[in-house]
Structure 1
Amino acid sequence: MNAILRLLAWTLAVLLVALPVVAVVNGWIGAERWPLRTLRVQGALQRVDAARLQQTLLPYAQRGFFAVRLGDARAAVAALPWVEHAEVRKRWPDVLEVRIVEHRPFAQWGADRLLSEQGRLFPAAGIAVPRGLPRLDGPDARVAAVVALYNEARVLFAPSGIDVRALTLDRRGSWSLRLSDGTDVVVGSSEARLRLARFARLLPQLLSQQQRPLARADLRYTNGFALSWAPAQPPQTATPPRPRAGADRRSTEGRT
């Protein structure tokens, strides 16, 4: 009996010590005694909304220094628009510290995503897309190949003063481009770099032979291109100047 009583006494003593610790760690008590009062953001935020960041972290900070769940807080911050990577730490006695790496957009990808300079795709929902980004598209597993051909195509067309506005790799493996002068270029699925290099080299000569814009170029031929030219613009006729009212009155008076 004495052994049982001693065991119960030890168990009760352990519970009396452990329960307060568990209560503090889980935020049941002590949140008001050890509150997190300061949010410290490392680095300047350019695209992440600071007010939204604070609202996101507030429910976690309210649990207090010991009970804040840093992993859950980090996941919540990482889900915000423009956040590529996030770290959340606590600093004694009352600081919640956040480090954020923002996405730097490189291009629009498909209809609803952006591609960062690090080659990562992220959703464009809730984001004001910067103007002037090229439009790229293709299977997610071919991001590197799409970016590589886009960069090569820009170099090829630069001597002509033409940029690449869009590049697409469809599911069948066929490439197509849109140039800054409005020309749609169908490249095909084989020898894409060789065909683009040949077309870019001959493009100034082709444009010099026509007084019309080039609307479409199909490069899927062994020894040439199929070109479609935009309709020629009708010449603008000069509009004769309208006579002034005073001159009309003088000519009428002269005939009476």
Structure 2
Amino acid sequence: MNAILRILAWTLAVVLVALPVVAVVNGWIGAERWPLRTLRVQGELQRVDGATLQKTLLPYAHRGFFAVRLEDARAAVARLPWVEHAEVRKRWPDVLEVRIVEHKPFAQWGRDRLLSEEGQLFPAAGIAVPKGLPRLDGPDTRVAAVVALYNESRALFAPSGIGVRGVALDRRGSWTLVLSGGTDVVVGSSEARLRLGRFARLLPQLLSQKQLPLARADLRYTNGFALTWAGATAPQHSATTPPPATAGGRSTEGST
């Protein structure tokens, strides 16, 4: 009986010692004695809203220095718009320190996402999309290929003073572009760079021959392009190499 009483007494003593520690760690007591009073932000915030950041962290700071759950706070910050990476630390005696790296937007991706300069896709919900970003689209696994063709296309059309507003790759592997003047360019799925290079070289000459804006160019032809001019009733074909004999001397032989 004495042994049992001694065990119970030791158990009660351990509980009485441990309970205050558990209470402090869980924020049951001590939040008012060891409060987190200062929010320190590292990193230049250009797009993350400071007031929203403070509101996001306030529930975690209220738990006090010992009870604040840093990983939960970090996850909450990481969910904010424009946040690429976040770290949350505490500094004695009363500082909650946050380090944020923002996404740097490179392009719009599809309808509801943005592509960062680091090649990461992130949601555009709740974000004021910066003006002038190109529109890119394609399967998520082909981000690098889409960006590569966009950069190459810009270099091809730049000597003519023509910009590239968008590049898209569909699920069948077919490419389309939108030029700065609003021209839709259908490239197709094969020899995309060869076709674009040939078209870019001849485009200034083609534009100089017409007073109408070029609405659409279909490059999926063996010997030339099918061009649709704004206000024209039907597409016209322009040959780049001598075409096979056809009515009117125009080639309509196509390839995909």
- TM-score if structure 2 supplies the norm length? 0.88
How many Å separate the matches in 2 of 1:104 and 1:3? 68
Distance, in Å, in 2 between the alignment partners of 1:6 and 1:38 is: 47
Aligned residues: CA RMSD: 1.1
Structure 1 gaps of 5+ residues are 233-256
Q: Distance in 2 between matches of 1:40 and 1:31?
A: 19
Distance in 1 separating the partners of 2:182 and 2:95: 54
In the other structure, the counterpart of 2:3 is: 3
Aligned twin of 2:109: 109
Residues 118-172 of structure 1 show CA distances to partners (whole Å, capped at 9, x for unaligned) of 1111111111111111111111111111111100100000011000001111121
Q: Which residue number corresponds to residue 236 of structure 1?
A: none
Partner amino acid for 1:197? G
CA distance in 2, matches of 1:161, 1:112: 30
- Which protein is bigger by CA-based radius of gyration? 1
**Correspondence for 2:124:** 124
CA distance in 2, matches of 1:183, 1:46: 34
Q: Which residue of 1 is the match for residue 140 of structure 2?
A: 140
- Structure 2: 5+ residue runs without aligned partners? 233-256
Q: Percent identity?
A: 88
Structure 1 position 208, deviation (Å): 2.1
The residue identity in structure 2 corresponding to 1:172 is R
Equivalenced residue count is 232
Q: CA deviation at 1:223?
A: 2.1
**2:190 — aligned with what?**
190
DSSP-derived class of the 1:225 partner: strand
User: Is 1:231 matched with 2:217?
Assistant: no
Tell me the distance in 2 between the aligned counterparts of 1:51 and 1:230: 49
Query: How much does 1:93 deviate?
Result: 0.5
Cα deviation for residue 73 of structure 1 reads 0.3
SS in 2 for 1:154: helix
How many angstroms apart in 1 are the aligned matches of 2:230 and 2:19? 81
- In 2, the alpha carbon distance for the partners of 1:195 and 1:106 equals 26
Q: Greater CA deviation, 89-98 or 7-16?
A: 7-16
* Structure 2 residue aligned with 1:55: 55
Deviation beyond 4 Å, 4+ runs, structure 1: none
